[in-house]
Amino acid sequence: MDGVGAHPLVSVIIPAFNAVPTLARCLEAVLASDYQPLEVIVVDDGSRDGTARLVEQDFPGVRLLRQANQGAAGARNSGARLARGSLWYFLDSDVVVEPRTIGQLVASVRDQRVDYVSGRYSTRPMNDGLIHHYKALFDYVYYIPERFKEQVYRDNQIGGGGDFFTRAAFEALGGYDATISGAGNEREECFSRLHQLGLRSLANPLIKTRHFFPDLGSLLRNIQQRVLENMLLMRKRPLPASYINPVPILGGAVAVFLMLLALPLAWLLPEQRAVLAALALGGGVAFVIFSRHFIRHGLRKKGGWMLVRMMPLHGFFLVFSLYAGLRAVVRCHILGEVRDG
């Protein structure tokens, strides 16, 4: 943490668009942090609800910037231009930090002498529906390989918890690419440039935040957009290695697909019923094998009854992820779609 004191000012930069449902909880958690000194900046990115009024009335110590809608990347860049700290924490308005989160991020930068740190989402989401608990567990299981769940990993990132930069590193990067839309794709692109510049990064799964996950329809749209945008980015530059291991996701998806294909065919083709039943059984066994870490962590963190209710959703989610990947391949490599900017 070159050039940064023992207790540096941390600027928490929060882009907010129609954020009334979650912003108060986000700000309350930041202001309750056990780390000081902090400055908190909310960028109201063209909201049509009472986002700005909420900040002005309920959080007078928070700096507020209003602007026409530019998207999350543009809002983060605008907030950075106001920031005075030597460390910058870009936090989404639908995320709640724990009291120790910011202090842990500062300690990671200081002790590991890195330019960037990312943490992870807790398996306990802000909202309490089955799909929300499922997505929180999915991210924990598949975004963090088993060998790294209890230790930091250099030169990598995790998908959740925000981005924590030294000011010098973020200025060297020139900010986020504001031409990128989608669910978090600007973070992937920014991290790829950080990696190319030789800046030092750390993924620390011991640092947790809680996330407000979208409902199923929005979640599926976000997945399609994110997979497509990442594939478009990879046509321009290779993305550095990430925590995500695609093998159990793809293997589980293929296993579910075979099982779902074999079952109706066994009914339509009675002469092949034994073979197709064996194929369906094999697909089910393979699904369990590829999902074994999900099942183990689900039992430990969510309990048996919630895990039972999650398993059909898990099979659907894996197949949909495979569909999103194939759809992106077609659009990028067959239809030749390119990303603007």
pLDDT at 243: 63
Which amino acid would we find at residue 95?
V
In this prediction the pTM is: 0.92
- Looking at domain 10-212, which of 1.20.58.760, 3.30.310.220, 1.10.8.60, 3.90.550.10 is its CATH number? 3.90.550.10
Q: pLDDT tens digits for 98-130?
A: 999 999 999 999 999 999 999 999 999 999 999
Of 219, 44, 83, give the one whose Cα is nearest residue 164. 83
- Written as six digits, the tokens of 148 are 């790294």
Quick: pLDDT tens for 88-97: 999 999 999 9
Provide the 10 A C-beta neighbour count for residue 155. Answer: 16
**pLDDT tens digits, residue range 59-78?**
999 999 999 999 999 999 99
Please report, for the chain, the start and end positions of each structural domain, with discontinuous segments joined by +.
10-212
**Dihedral sign, CA of 119, 124, 128, 130?**
positive
* Structure confidence at residue 181 (pLDDT): 67
Of the listed ranges 124-128, 228-232, 270-274, the one predicted with least confidence: 228-232
DSSP notation for 63-126: EEEEES--HHHHHHHHHHHH---SEEEE--TTEEE-TTHHHHHHHHHHHHT-SEEEEEE-SS-S
